[in-house]
Chains A and B, each alone.
Chain A
């Protein structure tokens, strides 16, 4: 079932790093995340050794548009160049192709997150942080990336148009990010019926991400991230197979 997964993964990863995509993403992400940390996050003033307030709380805001920007080419490029026809006629399962491409994109994000290490070194130099808590926060951030990437993969499977994919994916990721904020939820509840507010609240990454950042990631948070990711990737395979027939 997973024959070919590693080959697809290797090819995709090499493709990210042989073009500007990965470098542009990493540089922009580092500028934004570290820039916000020292400006709006008031890193030096708040004395927050866990990095929760100054660094981690901003990350979903960057992910909600940067992740779709990288993920929008996942399937639309294959359709545009016609290489989907090559992959589809090789003796590999569709799910292996999907997972290979997904894991390669997630690896690029892992590199981007690892490269924020100066802020971790700095906080260790200046204070005495709980490093397990920081690791848990990084895990939470990676899980948010995985979820947004899976959402983008599903949207990308629907359309050949990268701009449409970008706009729609950013919309979904933004809803998943913003729905966790009290003022947004309050105004949604005043406009929409109660059940709509509840659906929106259950789709937000914020609650699950926050528990990771506070160091008590629970099984149900992990389950939420993994099941959202798995559902979107499974959806991608259904859409790709349905499009062929």
Chain B
């Protein structure tokens, strides 16, 4: 579903992503771990077609993102890190706009909106202005737009960031549930999230993949059955 081959991104002289390759199969949830500045968001932005890679190949649902960007983009749902929204719109208006942009019309659109409102627990705020929502609701509204066209591939950049523990639990549950049928790539800082929701995890550091395996295999590798120990061993610590 997602095939990334020899992907590299340079910003001037700085290599943000360095020749990484991985795949995410259908029905697989891949956790993308790494310290701040490791290249997680840059990789995700390349896979979603927002920024072009310096070199390498990305295939989503069999379509090359560089050759057939619109076809590839139409099977991706993306939740950016900052969960951006149009503050002056209502939740319904925003979701309706996103559905239109994804080519949904009429009854199909209405159904899709109702479904994501239910999935993301937005019933209470459907006609509320986005600028009046709490951070948790705003985050879930942005997650809803990623799901609106029922995409085969989901790219979620820190989907639980800024949520309270109950909301985190719900989102993890949702990721697990969606992961049964879709390919999901999600990034996080929270190591327990990987064990709670992922089939497989990769750890990236300074633009390179430094570990790749199931959460169990990674824990074994750590020596003391802790992902945190492994994470600290393989990633660079930057103390300001």
Contacts and interface: CB of A to CB of B under 8 A. Distances in A.
B52 A7 contact: no
A88 to B, nearest CB: 5
A83 B71 contact: no
A4 B70 CA distance: 12
Interface string A201-245: 000000000000000000000000000000000000000000011
A15 interface: yes
B-side interface size class: 20 to 34
Interface string A78-91: 00011111101111
A11 B101 CA distance: 11
Contact of B101 (A82, A84, A92, A245): A92
B73 A90 contact: yes
Contacts of A91: 69-71, 73-74, 101-103
Given A85-B80, A86-B80, A7 B86 contact: no
Interface in B42-86: 45, 48-52, 69-71, 73-74, 76, 78, 80, 82, 84-86
A187 interface: no
Interface in B14-66: 45, 48-52
A88 B46 CA distance: 11
Contact of B84 (A7, A18, A83, A244): A83
Contacts of B76: 89
Nearest to A85: B80
How large, as a class, is the contact surface on chain A?
20 to 34
A83 B70 contact: no
Contacts of B78: 85-86, 89
B82 A82 contact: yes
A73 B89 CA distance: 16
A85 B45 CA distance: 8
B88 A81 contact: no
B127 interface: no
Interface string A56-100: 000000000000000000000000011111101111110000000
A89 B156 CA distance: 13
A18 B90 CA distance: 11
A179 to B, nearest CB: 37
Interface of A: 3-4, 7-8, 11, 14-15, 18-19, 81-86, 88-93, 244-245
7 closest A-B pairs by beta carbon, nearest first, are A82-B84, A91-B74, A91-B70, A89-B48, A91-B73, A7-B100, A88-B50
